[in-house]
Amino acid sequence: MNEAKLYEVIRAPRVSEKTARLQELSNQYAFEVSVDATKADIKAAVEKLFDVTVETVNVLNVKGKSKSFRFRTGRRGNWRKAYVKLAEGQTIDVMTAKV
């Protein structure tokens, strides 16, 4: 997989209270990924970009919310989230990571 494709697969790390807790307890990290990315693509991209060993990848589709913008209703886009579990003793610094 070439480097341009790696950056298309992983769009951004998702940082929240829930993901910070997952990092502490189970060494899992959350990323926003491309809608057509597979688990194998995500695993390869994380391993090459961050130089870590990935144990498991869990993927879920997040439905966009319906919102009202001014006087009309609209809909936010659907997106995909991946939870990546790393091998014991490995970490990713998501605050300074350039994805």
Write the pLDDT tens digit of every residue in 24-49.
999 999 999 999 999 999 999 999 99
Q: Is residue 96 part of a domain?
A: no
Decide if 98 is inside a domain: no
* Nearest-angstrom CA–CA distance, 28 and 66: 30
* Closest of 6, 11, 22, 15 to residue 77, by C-alpha: 11
Q: In which band, very low, low, confident or very high, does the pLDDT at 85 lie, cut at 50, 70 and 90?
A: very high
Q: Is pLDDT at 56 greater than 90 in this prediction?
A: yes
The confidence score (pLDDT) of residue 47 equals: 95
The verdict on residue 74 lying in a domain is yes
Domain span holding position 44:
3-86
Joined tokens for residue 83: 């939870």
Question: Does the structure show a pLDDT above 90 at 14?
Answer: yes
pLDDT on residue 12? 93
Residue 5's pLDDT is what?
Answer: 85
Q: Does residue 62 carry a pLDDT above 70?
A: yes
**Which two three-digit tokens encode residue 90?**
């490995």
Is 33 inside a domain boundary? Answer: yes
Evaluate whether residue 25 is within a structural domain. Answer: yes
pTM over 0.85: yes
User: Number of folded domains in the chain?
Assistant: 1
Whether 95 is covered by a domain: the verdict is no
Here the CATH number for the domain that contains residue 58 is 3.30.70.330
C-alpha 31/C-alpha 26 separation (Å) is: 15
Structure tokens at 58: 């869990």
Question: Is 91 among the domain residues?
Answer: no
Tell me, yes or no, whether 31 lies in a domain: yes
